[in-house]
Structure 1
Amino acid sequence: MAVVPVRPLAERKVAAHFIEAGAVSMADAIPYAPARPSRQRAFERLKGADVLKTDGQGKWWLDEELWQGRRSGRRTRALLALIAVGAAAAAAALR
């Protein structure tokens, strides 16, 4: 049974909101009030990672470079985990 990756999905939806609104620089910052608890948590995580930045007046914008780096890092960790599981399965099969 596949498990839905809730955290990354919520973060992608929050980031997509800012990208679709064109809020990718301080000059284009927008207010944001997430309607769902999962999006609120994703918003807090992205703020903590400095992917979402504030203009100091309650408006937010997405740092696209840091967002891409976060996504790339997540993919790298997932790939390494798959390789480790594959290696463990191969070692178990050879015993």
Structure 2
Amino acid sequence: MAGVPVAVIAERKVVRHFQREGATSMADAIPYEPNFLVRRRAFERLKGLDVLRTDGKGRWWLDEARWEDRRADRRTRALFALLAVGVAAAVAALR
């Protein structure tokens, strides 16, 4: 059984918080303090990727375009991993 992608779930929860609050532009930035360690790590990761951006006053907002790019990159990596496993299985079956 595969492990639960805890980091991915935490990122989604952090992003959903900003979406629910309508913090999707600098003008709508909000203060944010994660209440769980895993969400704090997700928050730090998303800040580092500029998915969450600051207004310079301790408030944060979600850059939705960068979030969509991150999701697309993640899907692309997953697809390539799946293809690699499929090719490896096909090669093993032909031996």
Partner in structure 2 of residue 9 of structure 1: 9
Question: In structure 2, what residue type is equivalent to 1:29?
Answer: A
Equivalence for 1:86:
86
Q: CA deviation at 1:3?
A: 1.4
TM-score calculated relative to the size of structure 2 = 0.98
> How far apart are residue 78 of structure 1 and its match?
0.3
Matched, 1:52 2:52: yes
Q: So what's the TM-score if we normalise by structure 1?
A: 0.98
How big is the alpha-carbon RMSD for the aligned residues of Structure 1 and Structure 2?
0.5
Distance in 1 (CA, whole Å) between partners of 2:7 and 2:71 is 12
Structure 1 unmatched runs, 5+ = none
In 1, the alpha carbon distance for the partners of 2:42 and 2:65 equals 18
SS of the aligned residue for 1:61 comes to strand
Deviation (angstroms), 1:41: 0.2
Q: Deviations over 1:2-61 (max 9, x none)?
A: 311111111111001001110000000000000000000000000000010001111000
Match of 1:40 in 2: 40
- Give aligned pairs, total: 95
Where 1:16 maps in the other structure, the secondary structure is: helix
Identity of aligned residues (%): 68
Flag structure 2 segments of 5+ consecutive residues without an equivalent: none
